[in-house]
A and B are shown apart, each in its own frame.
Chain A
């Protein structure tokens, strides 16, 4: 069983599509995405609206009510995600794959204490006493370098800073020890001064526990320094799939464009500078675009 698991890729995605029903008609947010993931760190880069978050949500089965997912294959640890019952999903989410959300200001429940939220994440998947769960949560808070776990445990989300909030988020999502963690722009909402700190904490934990990571960002240099492999997304499709070390020899003009206008780490940049876009990027394969 263990052999089978390690032999098969962790996650297989083939021709993933996410459609939305809107009053203005059908919107296709993800249009035929394919990749396989081992125990590695995969970066997904692309401009805002390219479908990165919707890819992450589809993998977790949390597409919004007006959305529909189709795929030829969507398998996690050999299990077909498309046919899971709600109950089966709950055993997968949190326990085996989890997601770090973008902005702790909105992604933590404002009327529950930080401690209660972390304890809830743990007890959802482990039958332990409240006292033991509390000890675990305190230890996890210490692991994400929170100096005074006892105090932070009893605080409410509005009482902590953004950097602290994101460390709490990391603690909460990693405490059940999932095999795959999806981090959706985990530092975009943070002050520049604490970004690297939070990333270092995440990096440490991912390495230490041998988890697979999907790191979603619009920040190509950040992703390339953090991941083994990179998917470049454009309008709901992967336009290039390459090793982080091969980034300098990227062939797709869009990737080159992203590289050419590298956003600098020392100031915040919401959108990438305008590229000269080619309509062929929307449909053509890399080979067709290069021709």
Chain B
């Protein structure tokens, strides 16, 4: 980075730079942070632009006539022509793209044919459901998966390792919808330990006024513990199911990162110093495991935020996954492309977050 700055221009020639460093190292650090921010923002903007180009092109290329979708196939030719012009489809492609981008930034994703409401409103309604589920599942997956992976690595080839492996195998081989249905049958129908499908009991759903759309958060904000516990009972099973898959993945990755770190020299150094085995594992080795693990966790979280269609279907969970899927099945292009942009935006956001965390955990990345 400093080399690039040197080549940057005459005003950053080395005498003035070293002078500045001697005068105030804080200012140099600030400048670096600024540059980093600028670069991060730049790459974000480029990625997002790419996403918009792709969604725009898909919208144009697909053999679904947006005019027909709006007016129906029995509309007379003059109506068709008027709507064709209103939609700006006679304009050159770059003009259309420009209008598209402007609209997106105004939050105008068009209207869903299926729900006949603005797509953005739909997404604001369904996304919190997915967000709530994915976040709880990821938190559980990390809190359980990381320690399990560590124990599997430390006791490699012994029973904790075998347990984790078997658990992972189940995770791979059992279909989600089957596990979900069996779970509902057992814990809801038979034992009545958890709530059924949906986010709340039907009776409660009518009274509940969402603020953020995250029911658990809203209920706490409103101090309504009855709603809170009802929501907990409904989210327990789907969250546990998703947490299980995320846990199996995180545990497997943690195990392999941990084995790699335990073979490093600095681990021997710590033992030579007389450091306890627990501290060697949980402080020294795990501190280094966190670096690559951040990316794994972020990826698994982003994947869940896409909305897991099967889980949402089985549990009648009104989330992003089932929204996009049903839009797709009904050729509701505005909704599909709007959903795609949101999912893409979420991916970009998670990536940014994992980059920042990476810097936090790895001093070598902070330059």
Contact = CB atoms under 8 A, between A and B. Distances in A.
B274 A107 contact: no
Interface of B: prevailing SS? helix
Contact of A90 (B269, B274, B363, B364): B274
Contact of B277 (A86, A101, A108): A86
B287 A124 contact: no
Say which size band chain A's interface belongs to.
Answer: 20 to 34
B284 A112 contact: yes
B162 interface: no
A115 to B, nearest CB: 13
Contact of B272 (A94, A106, A108, A110): A94
A178 B345 CA distance: 57
Interface in B273-308: 273-277, 284, 287-288, 291
Nearest to B270: A109
A152 to B, nearest CB: 14
Given A93-B272, A111-B361, A173-B272, A106 B264 contact: yes
A20 interface: no
B273 A121 contact: yes
A236 to B, nearest CB: 20
A106 B266 contact: yes
Contacts of A120: 270, 273, 275
B268 interface: yes
A110 B271 CA distance: 16
Contacts of B276: 90
Interface in A166-209: 169, 172-173, 176
Contacts, number: 77
Interface in A87-103: 89-95, 98-99, 101-103
Contacts of A90: 274-276
A156 interface: yes
Contacts of B271: 62, 93
Contacts of A176: 274
B284 A109 contact: yes
Interface string B117-160: 00000000000000000000000000000000000000000000
B265 interface: yes
Nearest to A175: B273
A55 B219 CA distance: 65
B274 A99 contact: no
B362 interface: yes
Contact of A172 (B264, B273, B277): B273
A103 B271 CA distance: 16
A100 to B, nearest CB: 9
Given A111-B288, A156-B363, A93 B266 contact: no
Nearest to A87: B276
Contacts of B264: 106
Given A112-B287, A158-B364, A98 B272 contact: yes
A142 B363 CA distance: 24
Contacts of B287: 109, 111-112
A99 B363 CA distance: 26
Contacts of A112: 284, 287
A143 interface: no
Contacts of A121: 273-274
A286 interface: no
A71 interface: no
A62 B277 CA distance: 12
B276 to A, nearest CB: 6
A125 interface: yes
A259 interface: no
A139 interface: no
Nearest to A103: B265
Contacts of A158: 363-364
Given A62-B268, A112-B287, A125 B274 contact: yes
A109 B272 contact: no
A110 B267 CA distance: 11
Contact of A109 (B274, B277, B288): B288
Nearest to A89: B274
A112 B268 CA distance: 15
B264 to A, nearest CB: 7
Contacts of A93: 271-274
B170 to A, nearest CB: 29
Contacts of B363: 110-111, 113, 156, 158
A289 interface: no
A120 B272 CA distance: 12
Interface string A39-53: 000000000000000
Instruction: List the 9 closest pairs (A to B, CB-CB), nearest first.
Output: A94-B274, A106-B265, A156-B363, A93-B274, A94-B273, A109-B266, A107-B265, A121-B273, A90-B274
Given A98-B273, A176-B274, 5 more contacts: A94-B273, A102-B265, A107-B266, A109-B269, A169-B269
Interface of B: 264-266, 268-277, 284, 287-288, 291, 361-364
24 contacts: A86-B277, A90-B276, A95-B274, A98-B272, A99-B272, A101-B268, A106-B264, A107-B265, A107-B266, A107-B269, A109-B270, A109-B287, A110-B364, A111-B288, A111-B291, A111-B362, A113-B363, A120-B275, A121-B273, A125-B274, A158-B363, A158-B364, A172-B273, A176-B274
